[in-house]
Amino acid sequence: MVLDVSLQTRSACVICGAKPDAVAAVAISDAIVLRENELGTVVTGKPGELVIDYAASFDGPVYDVMYNVRTGWFVVTIYHGLEPPVRWDNRPDANPGYPRVETVLGASTPTSILLALGIDPAELDYAPS
């Protein structure tokens, strides 16, 4: 899949413990690509509200990653089923919208978080600023 370069926000999610065929059985779209990694399944493209469907369907956790190419905003929303989500956000002075966590799988920078989640930074056009 080639990302539309006109899109400024890139997204991916990782559904831990789920195989791509199980993820596809819950919900699939022409706007996403599924691939397996050692944590479960990586969904790239525009998963949108499918992330919530995945979180409700799998034990997870489900990590929803968004990166804005123009602003450098990088955020990971972490879902554990239907429990209230938590969020890692690189904007320390901003309210992240959910309770803040300091690390994701022990990682505390966007690059290390992507690597911990098994997401290639190039999949999000991520380049550290």
Write the pLDDT tens digit of every residue in 5-27.
455 888 999 999 999 999 999 98
For residue 104, being part of any structural domain is answered with: yes
For residue 36, being part of any structural domain is answered with: yes
For residue 108, being part of any structural domain is answered with: yes
How many distinct structural domains can be found in the chain? 1
Q: Which residues, other chains included, contact 114 with Cβ-Cβ below 8 Å and sequence gap of 6+?
A: 65, 120, 121, 124, 126
Please give the mean pLDDT across all residues of the chain: 89
Residue type, 81: G
Give the CA-trace dihedral at 68, 127, 40, 90, to 10 degrees: -50
Q: Which pLDDT score is estimated for 60?
A: 87
Does the pLDDT value for residue 104 go beyond 60?
Answer: yes
Q: Which residues, other chains included, contact 89 with Cβ-Cβ below 8 Å and sequence gap of 6+?
A: 73, 74, 75, 76, 96, 100
Q: Which domain range does residue 17 map to?
A: 9-124
Q: What is the mean pLDDT of residues 95-110?
A: 93
For residue 4, being part of any structural domain is answered with: no
Q: Which pLDDT score is estimated for 121?
A: 94
Predicted TM-score of the model (pTM)? 0.90
For residue 51, being part of any structural domain is answered with: yes
Distance CA 110, CA 88 (A): 10
Q: Are 69 and 76 in contact (CB under 8 A)?
A: no
Does the pLDDT value for residue 93 go beyond 80?
Answer: no
Does the pLDDT value for residue 1 go beyond 50?
Answer: no
